[in-house]
């Protein structure tokens, strides 16, 4: 039965990989929807990505982690749906969701803005 267990594990790992790909795909779709001004569609994509993440117990990919509001699920585009203020002295970045007003603080990491 060892083989069967191994196969099962491989299948699970594969599922997780597929889930991860799907999450990234959905965030890209959300970004594109935002470019077209379709905010509610983008929100739907974010919601789906989060649901897949929850189902497979995956954390969101690093490059997308700070791209949506954890409170209302809106996709964040700086200046459009989110206000970003970096406070270098205090070593954190403040994100204010322009949709629901939620405020999030993240530690200031240079690399986090490479993709933003």
Residue 51 binding Zn ion, by CB under 5 A: no
Residue 103 binding Zn ion, by CB under 5 A: no
In the 8-state DSSP scheme, what is residue 59?
A: P
Q: Locate tokens 């597929």: which residue?
A: 18
Residue 97 binding Zn ion, by CB under 5 A: yes
In the region spanning residues 56 to 85, those forming contacts with Zn ion, defined by CB under 5 A, are 69, 71-72
In whole angstroms, the minimum distance from the beta carbon of 102 to Zn ion comes to 5
Q: Locate tokens 């200031």: which residue?
A: 108
Q: How far apart are CA 29 and CA 64, in angstroms?
A: 12
The residue ranges that bind Zn ion (CB under 5 A) are: 69, 71-72, 97, 99-100, 102
């Amino acid at each position: 039965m060892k083989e069967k267990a191994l196969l099962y594990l491989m299948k699970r790992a594969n599922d997780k990989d597929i889930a991860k790909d799907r999450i990234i795909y959905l965030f890209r779709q959300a970004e594109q929807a935002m470019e077209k001004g379709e905010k509610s569609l983008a929100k739907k994509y974010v919601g789906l990505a989060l649901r897949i993440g929850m189902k497979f117990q995956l954390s969101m990919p690093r490059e997308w982690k700070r791209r949506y509001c954890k409170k209302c699920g809106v996709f964040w585009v700086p200046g459009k749906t989110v206000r970003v203020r970096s406070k270098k002295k205090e070593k954190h970045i403040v994100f204010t969701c322009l949709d629901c007003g939620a405020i999030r603080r993240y530690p200031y990491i240079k690399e986090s803005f490479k993709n933003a």
